[in-house]
């Protein structure tokens, strides 16, 4: 049985920012796939390019940033019904404000941002904002693919609020974002993201601004809704514990490049790249010794205007190979059936990389 083709394929993506001080390569040759219904976790330290990758997929990179090269191939629906066909479109070639991209953004690819308080308009009710999105993109809710009436869109919003665990949805639909708690705002944002039945959901640090109890509830809710709607998810976070719970496949990024990728069990139980191993060592353990300092990754992320030559991680790496890591950039190498690492430890010494 042949596996389903990828829903999203990012190929050799480069995103750069032309600043007065110089050129910042925020994403430097990233490539990965997202299969239908799969959860892919993108992890790394702050500033490694996770969120810029997300913005590139959505064509939301702010000026003076731009997609310099690469492909973002997405299998979109050719019509509003689930039985309609599909076509592959390169999102990197679509104008950000063009009709095609605006039809995909929100309807086929949805976003849960880091801070829902900043994402919702404070002068409109959360219900009105979701109803507006449904009337613009929600043709999937009708069998004939026609536009939704405001009455139908409002009822769907109430049902979505109920699905995401918002109590008294008939009353909460008329609340403003500033009248809701952080947990309720996050649930309302999830309802908005899922309102148009997207094929791909991008969750950018969705648990950052909420307490751990609410975080567990939100993660459980996302898993439940994914099973119900069959949505693929890109989960962006620096929290490896969240990735262990949510993802089936993991992409580890550092300074805009992919250091390692593979199934979550392989990444956690048999990490190959020194950076991945260092990240995992820094996680607190329930079985660790008391009053013993946690291992840390030496040094800090380089300034974007002062990228090191060669492998970007070599100044902080304990396995650095002088003359190789310091001068040449390693390419991703197959380590196992589905695991790859960008490290000279797994290169043939004659490989020109």
Asked whether residue 51 carries a pLDDT value surpassing 60, the answer given is yes
Residue 147 lies in a domain: yes
Q: Please say whether the beta carbons of 43 and 238 come within 8 A.
A: yes
Cα separation, 93 vs 63, whole angstroms = 17
pLDDT at 349: 46
pLDDT in tens, 59-89: 999 989 999 999 999 998 776 655 567 899 9
Pairing of β 200-204 and β 109-112: parallel
Residue 330 lies in a domain: no
Per-residue exposure over 158-191, b if at least 16 CB sit within 10 Å of its own CB, e if not: bebbebbbbeebeebbebebeebeebbbbbbbbb
Q: What backbone torsions phi and psi does residue 147 show, to the nearest 5 degrees?
A: -70, 155
Where in the sequence is the domain holding 42, given as residue range(s)? 8-247
pLDDT at 117: 72
pLDDT at 288: 67
How sure is the predictor about 145, in pLDDT bands with cuts at 50, 70 and 90? low
Sequence-ordered list of residues with C-beta below 8 angstroms from that of 158, at least 6 positions apart, any chain: 169, 170, 173
Residue 94 lies in a domain: yes
Mean pLDDT of the chain: 87
pLDDT at 209: 65
Domain count within the chain? 1
| Window from 55-64, 73-82, 215-224, 317-326 with minimum mean pLDDT | 73-82
pLDDT at 352: 44
Residue 131 lies in a domain: yes
How sure is the predictor about 344, in pLDDT bands with cuts at 50, 70 and 90? very high
Query: Percent of the chain at pLDDT above 70?
Result: 93
Please tell me the pTM assigned to this model. 0.88
Cα separation, 185 vs 213, whole angstroms = 15
Helices and strands: H and E segment counts in the chain? 11, 12
> Which has more confidence, 191 or 287?
191
> Which has more confidence, 294 or 253?
253
How sure is the predictor about 276, in pLDDT bands with cuts at 50, 70 and 90? very high
Per-residue exposure over 115-150, b if at least 16 CB sit within 10 Å of its own CB, e if not: bbeebbeeeebbbbbbbbbbbbbbbbbeeeeeebee
* For range 46-62, the mean pLDDT: 91
Asked whether residue 207 carries a pLDDT value surpassing 90, the answer given is no
Partner residues linked to 110 by β-bridges: 201
* For range 309-316, the mean pLDDT: 91
pLDDT at 83: 55
Residue 113 sits in a domain of what CATH number? 3.40.50.300
pLDDT at 36: 93
pLDDT at 213: 79
* For range 39-55, the mean pLDDT: 91
The DSSP string of 89-102 is EEGGGS-TTSHHHH
Residue 310 lies in a domain: no
* For range 292-305, the mean pLDDT: 80
Residue 301 lies in a domain: no
């Amino acid at each position: 049985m042949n596996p389903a083709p990828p829903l999203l394929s990012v190929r050799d993506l480069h995103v750069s920012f032309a600043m007065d001080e110089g050129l910042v390569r925020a994403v430097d040759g990233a490539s990965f796939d997202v299969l239908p219904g799969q959860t892919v976790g993108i992890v790394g330290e702050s500033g490694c390019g996770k969120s810029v990758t997300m913005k590139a997929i959505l064509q939301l990179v702010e000026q003076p940033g731009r997609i310099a090269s690469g492909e973002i191939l997405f299998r979109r629906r050719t019509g509003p019904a689930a039985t309609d066909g599909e076509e592959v479109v390169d999102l990197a070639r679509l104008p950000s404000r063009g009709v095609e991209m605006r039809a995909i953004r929100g309807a086929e690819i949805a976003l849960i941002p880091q801070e829902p308080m900043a994402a919702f308009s404070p002068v409109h009710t959360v219900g009105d904002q979701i109803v507006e999105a449904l009337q613009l993109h929600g043709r999937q809710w009708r069998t004939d693919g026609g536009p939704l009436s405001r009455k139908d869109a409002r009822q769907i919003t109430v049902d979505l609020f109920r699905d995401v665990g918002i109590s008294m949805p008939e009353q909460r639909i008329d609340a403003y974002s500033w009248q809701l708690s952080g947990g309720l705002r996050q649930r309302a944002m999830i309802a908005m993201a899922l309102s148009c039945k997207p094929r791909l959901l991008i969750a950018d640090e969705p648990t950052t601004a909420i307490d751990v109890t609410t975080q567990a509830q939100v993660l459980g809710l996302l898993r439940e809704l994914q099973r119900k709607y069959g949505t693929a998810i890109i989960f962006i976070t620096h929290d490896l514990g969240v990735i262990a719970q949510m993802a089936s496949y993991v992409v580890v990024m550092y300074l805009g490049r992919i250091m390692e990728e593979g199934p979550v069990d392989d990444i956690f139980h048999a990490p190959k790249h020194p950076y991945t191993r260092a990240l995992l060592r820094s996680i607190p353990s329930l079985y660790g010794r008391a009053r013993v300092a946690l291992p840390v990754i030496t040094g800090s992320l380089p300034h974007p205007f002062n990228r090191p030559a060669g492998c970007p991680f070599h100044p902080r790496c304990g396995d650095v190979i002088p003359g190789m890591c310091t001068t040449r950039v390693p390419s991703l190498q197959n380590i196992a059936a589905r695991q790859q690492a960008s490290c000279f430890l797994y290169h043939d010494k004659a490989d020109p990389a």
